[in-house]
Amino acid sequence: MKASPELAAVFVAACRVVARVLAGSSLASQPASAGLEGSLRGATMDMVYGTLRRFGRGDAILARLAHKGVPDPQIRALLLCALYAIESAHYADHVAVDQAVRACDRLRKPVAKRFVNGLLRTYLREREAIGTALAADLVARTMHPDWWIESVRRAYPAVWEAVLAAGNQHPPMGLRVNQHRGSADEYVARLERESMRARALGGGEVVLEAPVSVDRLPGFADGAVSVQDAGAQRAARYLDLADGQYVLDACAAPGGKASQILELAEVELLALDVDPARCERIRQNFQRLGLQGRVEAGDCAETGQWWDGRAFDRILADVPCTASGIARRHPDIKWLRRPGDPARFAAAQLLILEALWRVLAPGGKLLYVTCSVFPEENASVVDAFCALQPAARRLELPGNAPAQLLPGDDNDGFYFALLQK
């Protein structure tokens, strides 16, 4: 346990972010660490992400303790943060309660102090009974919305609980070693010399046992290694790349997969993204890694805006999706997504596939990728596309790898489908 004199400040900063998320704003639109420095920044990020990962449980606890609800959004968020602080055991119980009460003054809501104090102390007295009661509540137990639970349970009846549990974990920190600068095993040994433990996986990916800031990674600044999830690293390897090919990464930002393509083969690459600001991140990645690729801003579904008529040998279509396979990295999406979103994304994904198919050369290959675990965005989209395109032939993935990669200890969740024209 740790008692921090800044916990009240952490509660204040975190509850403001959590309240905005619960009102409908994504974390991406209002970074949890904006304007914060030093230890306060890290502690606030932990508080926000931990509270949102466990929101289903925290909200159920509040419902049992505050029968009339908590009408003030910031006080509700403060209580959720305090419950996370208590249940995470990062802070002593009495410290969490005391600092939550002090946070009311900092929020200029002194009238809420008695309510916050009473509710949290009631929870401390009754938490064993509350925990027993919540064991039968699927939303509280799995910490996912009910429609999400049902979708995963229907799709993966044998492992649905493990899939949901993975969505609540701290995500692994995967590394991609530049193969021109050394092997995964060599880099693991280099990390161990720096007192960082890591494992090399079968495909050459490296997974750290504990995450670190990138400035601690040996060789990061000069392009020896990049941060990239082990599952995401499969995409470039599945493309069947060869020197001399003309390759399109159609939704390329922030540039991890595009960079890996250029590391794997001497190809001519166009990295395309709809957001000009995110295109700059691709360029920065290329510059750090010493790679040469063309970067353009454009909507991949509107080929008339950017295509010059030259067909591509390979296309990576890492399409926008619900991101349900990477929810642990973006815990707000569990509570911001709605039941109709998978179908809405699927309609857009099918349009993207149809557009990109027109710019693929005969004999060329297109890899369809999502970071989703919902079949509506994955197999259903590919099946619908193949039914519309008789010239589309679905190929086995290298090594007969499964199309659906579920989130686990080493990787996030992804879906892959390789199509040949």
Residue in the block written with tokens 């009974």: 129
Predicted local confidence at residue 40, as pLDDT: 84
Question: What is the Cα–Cα distance from 213 to 40, expressed in whole angstroms?
Answer: 16
Domain boundaries, the chain: 7-142, 144-171+231-421, 173-228
Question: What is the Cα–Cα distance from 401 to 13, expressed in whole angstroms?
Answer: 44
Domain 173-228 sits in CATH at: 3.30.70.1170
Is the CB of residue 252 less than 8 Å from the CB of residue 272? yes
Predicted local confidence at residue 36, as pLDDT: 74
Predicted local confidence at residue 41, as pLDDT: 85
Provide the whole-model pTM. Answer: 0.93
Query: Do the first three CATH levels of 144-171+231-421 and 173-228 match, i.e. the same topology?
Result: no
Peptide bond into 171 cis (omega under 30): no
**DSSP code of residue 198:** E
Positions marked catalytic = 371
Is the CB of residue 371 less than 8 Å from the CB of residue 330? no
Pairing of the two strands 225-227 and 246-249: unpaired
Predicted local confidence at residue 5, as pLDDT: 46
Superfamily of domain 7-142: NusB-like (1.10.940.10)
User: What is the separation, in whole angstroms, between the first and last Cα of the chain?
Assistant: 58
Cα-Cα-Cα-Cα dihedral sign, residues 249, 235, 209, 157: positive
Average pLDDT for consecutive 10-residue bins of the chain (421 residues)? 70 96 92 70 92 97 92 97 95 95 96 97 96 96 97 98 96 95 94 96 94 95 96 97 98 96 97 96 96 97 96 98 97 97 98 98 98 98 97 96 97 98 97
Question: What is the Cα–Cα distance from 191 to 184, expressed in whole angstroms?
Answer: 10
Give 269's contacts (C-beta < 8 A, 6+ positions apart).
247, 248, 249, 258, 261, 262, 293, 294
Predicted local confidence at residue 42, as pLDDT: 85
* Paired tokens of 70: 């908590």
* Paired tokens of 155: 């799709």
Measured CA distances, 415 to 241, 351, 371, 412 (Å): 19, 18, 6, 10
Class of domain 144-171+231-421: alpha beta
